[in-house]
Structure 1
Amino acid sequence: MNVLLIGSGGREHALAWKLSQSPMLTAFYAAPGNPGIAEVATCVPVDVTDHTAVVALCRDKAIDLVVVGPEAPLVAGLGDDLRAVGIKVFGPSAAAAELEGSKGFTKDLCAEYGIPTAAFGRFDNAADAAAYVRGVGAPIVVKADGLAAGKGVTVAMTLEEALAAVDECFSGSFGVAGEEVVVEEFLTGEEVSAFYLCDARTALPFGSAQDHKRVGEGDTGPNTGGMGAYSPAPAMTPEIEARVLNEIIEPTLRGMAAMGRPFSGVLFAGLMLTDEGPKLIEYNVRFGDPETQVLMMRLKDDLLVLLSAAADGQLAHMSARWRDEAALTVVFAAEGYPAAPRKGTEIRGLEKAAGDGVRVFHAGTALKDGRLVANGGRVLNVTAAGRTVGEAAAKAYAAVDAIDWPGGFCRRDIGWRAIARERGQA
Structure 2
Amino acid sequence: MKILLVGSGGREHALAWKIAQSPRVSRLVIAPGNPGMAQHGELFPDIKATDVAGIVELATRIQADLVVVGPEAALAEGLADQLARLNIPCFGPSAKAAQLETSKAFSKAFLARHNIPTARYGAYEDVAEAKAALGEYSAPYVIKADGLAAGKGVAISPDRQDAEAEIERMLGGRFGSAGSRVVIEEFMDGEEGSLFALSDGKRAVLFGGAQDHKRAFDGDSGPNTGGMGAYSPAPVFTPEFVKAANDLVVQPTIQKMAEEGTPYRGVLYAGLMATSEGPKVVEFNARFGDPECQVLMMRLDGDIVPLLLACAKGDLSQVPAPSFKPGVVITVVMAAKGYPDSPLEGSIIRGAEQDFGPHVQVFHAGTKRRDDGALVAAGGRVLNVCAYGADINEARERAYEAVAKIDWPGGFNRTDIGWRAIGR
Instruction: Report the TM-score, using the length of structure 2 for normalisation.
Output: 0.98
Written as runs of structure 1 = structure 2, the 5 A alignment for 1:244-259 is 244-259=245-260
Deviation (angstroms), 1:138: 1.2
SS in 1 for 2:88: coil
The residue aligned with 1:275 is: 276
Q: Does 1:319 align with 2:321?
A: yes
SS in 2 for 1:115: coil
Q: Which moved more, 1:200-209 or 1:132-141?
A: 132-141
2:376 to 373, 377, 380: 373
The residue aligned with 2:98 is: 97
Deviation (angstroms), 1:353: 5.6
The residue aligned with 2:32 is: 32
The residue aligned with 1:187 is: 188
Q: Contact conserved, 2:52 with 2:77, CA < 8 A, in 1?
A: no
Q: Deviations over 1:322-378 (max 9, x none)?
A: 000100000011111111111111111124462121000000000002111010110
Deviation (angstroms), 1:42: 0.3
SS in 1 for 2:284: strand
RMSD: 1.0
Following TM superposition, where does structure 1 have runs of at least 4 consecutive aligned residues deviating by more than 3 angstroms? none
Aligned length: 421
Distance in 1 (CA, whole Å) between partners of 2:214 and 2:54 is 35
1:386 to 382, 385, 389: 389
Distance in 2 (CA, whole Å) between partners of 1:352 and 1:285 is 33
Deviation (angstroms), 1:56: 1.6
Distance in 1 (CA, whole Å) between partners of 2:136 and 2:105 is 20
Q: Contact conserved, 2:353 with 2:362, CA < 8 A, in 1?
A: no
Q: Which moved more, 1:315-324 or 1:179-188?
A: 315-324
Distance in 2 (CA, whole Å) between partners of 1:21 and 1:92 is 25
Q: What 5-or-longer segments of structure 2 have no aligned partner?
A: none
Q: Contact conserved, 1:301 with 1:321, CA < 8 A, in 2?
A: yes
Deviation (angstroms), 1:236: 0.7
Q: What 5-or-longer segments of structure 1 have no aligned partner?
A: 422-426
SS in 2 for 1:236: coil
Q: Deviations over 1:239-293 (max 9, x none)?
A: 1111111101111112111211110000000000000000000000000000011
Q: Which moved more, 1:9-18 or 1:344-353?
A: 344-353
The residue aligned with 1:424 is: none
1:409 to 390, 396, 412: 412
Deviation (angstroms), 1:135: 3.2
Letter aligned with residue 348 of structure 1: R
The residue aligned with 1:236 is: 237
Q: Which moved more, 1:169-178 or 1:218-227?
A: 169-178
Distance in 1 (CA, whole Å) between partners of 2:172 and 2:385 is 38
Distance in 1 (CA, whole Å) between partners of 2:228 and 2:51 is 31
Distance in 2 (CA, whole Å) between partners of 1:178 and 1:132 is 17
Instruction: Report the TM-score, using the length of structure 1 for normalisation.
Output: 0.97
Deviation (angstroms), 1:120: 0.6
Distance in 2 (CA, whole Å) between partners of 1:126 and 1:164 is 10
Q: Contact conserved, 1:331 with 1:379, CA < 8 A, in 2?
A: yes
